[in-house]
Amino acid sequence: MIPTLRASVRMTLFMMVSLVTVLLVAAGNAVLYFFKDEWRIYWKNSVTSAWAKITAFVLGLQVEVKGQPPSPPFFLVSNHLSYIDIVLLWQNIDATFVAKGEIKSWPFFGWATQTLGVLFINRLLRRDVYRVNEKISEAISSVQGIILFPEGTTSPGAEVLSFNAPLLEYPATKAMPVHYATISYTTNDVEKPASRHICWWGDMEFIPHLWKLLQLKNFRGTITFGEHTVKENSRKELANKLHAAVQRQFIPTAEEDKPITGQE
């Protein structure tokens, strides 16, 4: 299939699936408003999991899972490479994310992420950490965990960036064991490395980058869940130990690209 035609078809399907997903969750929020929160979250989890699986198929994304995903309630940290990271995570665990506040102003995606229950933090305001901690305390439950990207931004995947300790205030204060995971990507084309066609970082514009990604014939995303948890009362110590654990099992995208087979 011609790359531009492939991208056009995928873009259409992706937007349709995403719109239906958000509308279904919004409808569930309205219908289940007077019922237990767990029912509403369970519905959201079911819909977002289905969205992630369908989206992976539409994008030609082959997901490889290593290790055992955690079950709610949990607090999980991961390295952050791309907006595609949420597909790998939502396909495997029931959770919501802590994301940068700028997303709220994005067309469609801002409304969509708020509807889906994503928590936002203003990274320019130090005191906003306390508000977000309260939101985390309300959101984490027996049917939903919390996912945090403590690097605070995305990267090309050459290394794991330093972790922001203030974002780990909640699990440190609660002496809560923290799970961790690592994400990496490979493409089947050495001329289209994952570091530029999948990882989204620096001053890359979203739409042009997404268009390049949609033109890929297929690509692989690997998510590896850590074998143990990390617990510390000091958020700085917690950040350091989690960073070391993530760094140990991280596979740099610089070690790409092995040919893969799969969806046309």
Q: How far apart are CA 95 and CA 93, in angstroms?
A: 6
- pLDDT value, residue 130: 85
The string over 64-85, giving b where at least 16 C-beta atoms fall within 10 Å of a residue's C-beta and e elsewhere, is eeebebbebbbbbbbbbbbbbb
Counting Cα atoms < 13 Å in the Cβ hemisphere of 203 gives 0
- pLDDT value, residue 63: 97
Best CA proximity match to 82, nearest among 59, 50, 115, 107: 59
- Domains of the chain, each with CATH number or no CATH: 3-255 (3.40.1130)
Best CA proximity match to 47, nearest among 17, 69, 74: 17
- Is the preceding omega at residue 208 within 30 degrees of 0, hence cis? no
Q: Which is it for strands 178-187 and 219-225: parallel, antiparallel or unpaired? A: antiparallel
- pLDDT value, residue 260: 39
- pLDDT value, residue 263: 37
CA 14 distance to own-chain centroid: 17
**Other Cβ atoms closer than 10 A to 238:** 24
Give the tens place of pLDDT for each residue, 171-219. Answer: 999 999 999 999 999 998 888 999 999 999 999 999 999 999 999 999 9
- pLDDT value, residue 181: 98
| pLDDT tens, the chain, 264 aa long | 799 999 999 999 999 999 999 999 999 999 988 888 899 999 999 999 999 999 999 999 999 999 999 999 999 999 999 999 999 999 999 999 998 888 888 788 888 999 999 999 887 777 888 888 889 999 999 999 999 999 988 999 999 999 999 889 999 999 999 999 999 999 988 889 999 999 999 999 999 999 999 999 999 999 999 999 999 999 999 999 999 999 999 999 855 444 433 333
Best CA proximity match to 78, nearest among 154, 130, 170: 154
Q: pTM score, two decimals?
A: 0.90
The first and second tokens of residue 82, run together, are: 């791309």
H runs (alpha helix) in 103-251: 109-115, 128-139, 169-173, 194-197, 206-215, 235-249
- pLDDT value, residue 254: 55
